[in-house]
Amino acid sequence: MDSALQDPHNGSAEAGSPANGTTRPPSTPEGIALAYGSLLLMALLPIFFGALRSVRCTRGKNSSDMPETITSRDAARFPIIASCTLLGLYLFFKVYFPNKNYTGLVLKTWKIQKSKKGKTAVIQNPTTRDSHRFPLEIFSQEYINLLLSMYFFVLGILALSHTISPFMNKVFPANFPSRQYQLLFTQGSGENKEGGRGSPAPGSGLTRPLCPEIINYEFDTKDLVCLGLSSIVGVWYLLRKHWIANNLFGLAFSLNGVELLHLNNVSTGCILLGGLFIYDVFWVFGTNVMVTVARSFEAPIKLVFPQDLLEKGLEADNFAMLGLGDIVIPGIFIALLLRFDISLKKNTHTYFYTSFAAYIFGLGLTIFIMHIFKHAQPALLYLVPACIGFPVLVALAKGEVTEMFSYESSAEILPHTPRLTHFPTVSGSPASLAASMQQKLAGPRRRRPQNPSAM
């Protein structure tokens, strides 16, 4: 997960240079201000609207609309999983050792040196002085990025379609033809599926046997139109890798993350943000792993905006970037505080606006520090203390600390959400149950009046 705010081409230590060996011209103050301001605005949009949509998010008809609750155990494990994923991506791009003959203890006695060209590695035995030259990377970076591009192509289309669907529903006219569809994947053999052996007879009033649902997605014609529009953006991104298409997918991923990822309480949010605070600081300041992955990883996992837009227009290529982790992680905590505000039933959104202002302050401070020191900054280093500290201070001033930390988001019964409170008791043998069901079906029925003319 890329979680560092970076200014890779503005004279920093990580500044890149064009292929012809010439240095990039420095960005103008106007271009830098436009890039930073745009990144800040793009970060605020998915947090604000994602938090509002998280309130209305219910366990609806589609499995994709169901919020995923993050528990304290999940929060504690998340930084470890993220670190393993980040390191794995780094090893894919940088670590090499394609010769399978050198395994086991032999690896400990051979020295690996990177050649000047950066494309091959010289492996030399210190005893025999034999040396061999191997490719630097296990897998070609182009193939890895192609595979990831196809994955995010599909994922981005679905995320963008889900994002624009509520807005497009207001655009369609009332007489727009709409047909309902359902995509259902269940687990089980043919005997346990609807219509298979052992299924209840039609009209018996019994439901089909409960099968684990892998995918249960209901959609209509309007959703197909949204999917088609999103596919146009997907093809644009796949073919051109344009920064606008990248940002459209990045905004969609961020909004869906804030909407569908729910923290169950404030304590879990503190555990998650605290763990990722350490994760972010270590991988940005302690190593070059995160910066390397962010530049090598061609996927919409970051928002970018060109600093030379005023000079080169839409073909600009001198980008400042912000990782999606710096948006989604604080965003789900801000959305939790919005739901806490609503649970107080005071018709105020004090904690939401406080945490939202804290996020603006933290991200603005990150941009300022990065611009001063000309070095990539771990944004969570500034966002986590602000997003946790400001609301806690407000709760202390209002005397609502106990209410804040005892609030359980997962315990809420959202509007229009059916909740099963008990299971019916069923007793008796299958034969007796079948006999009683037959008696109910064979009970007295209303006779249909006969047509006098037919008599």
Q: Where are the alpha helices (DSSP H) in 200-324?
A: 221-240, 243-260, 266-281, 289-296, 309-312
Dist. CA 67–CA 48, nearest whole Å: 17
Tokens of 16: 């890149």
The verdict on whether 280 is a catalytic residue reads yes
The verdict on whether 220 is a catalytic residue reads no
CB atoms within 10 A of CB 367: 24
The answer to whether 365 and 82 are in contact (CB under 8 A) is no
Longest dimension (CA), the chain: 111
Dist. CA 102–CA 115, nearest whole Å: 19
Tell me how many degrees the CA angle 336-339-340 measures, rounded to the nearest 5: 85
In total, the chain counts a number of residues equal to 455
> What sign does the dihedral 323-329-330-332 (CA atoms) show?
positive
Of 280, 308, 317, 341, catalytic: 280
Q: What are the Cα distances from residue 218, in Å, to 57, 61, 163, 165, 224?
A: 16, 7, 16, 13, 11
Q: Which residues are catalytic?
A: 280, 326
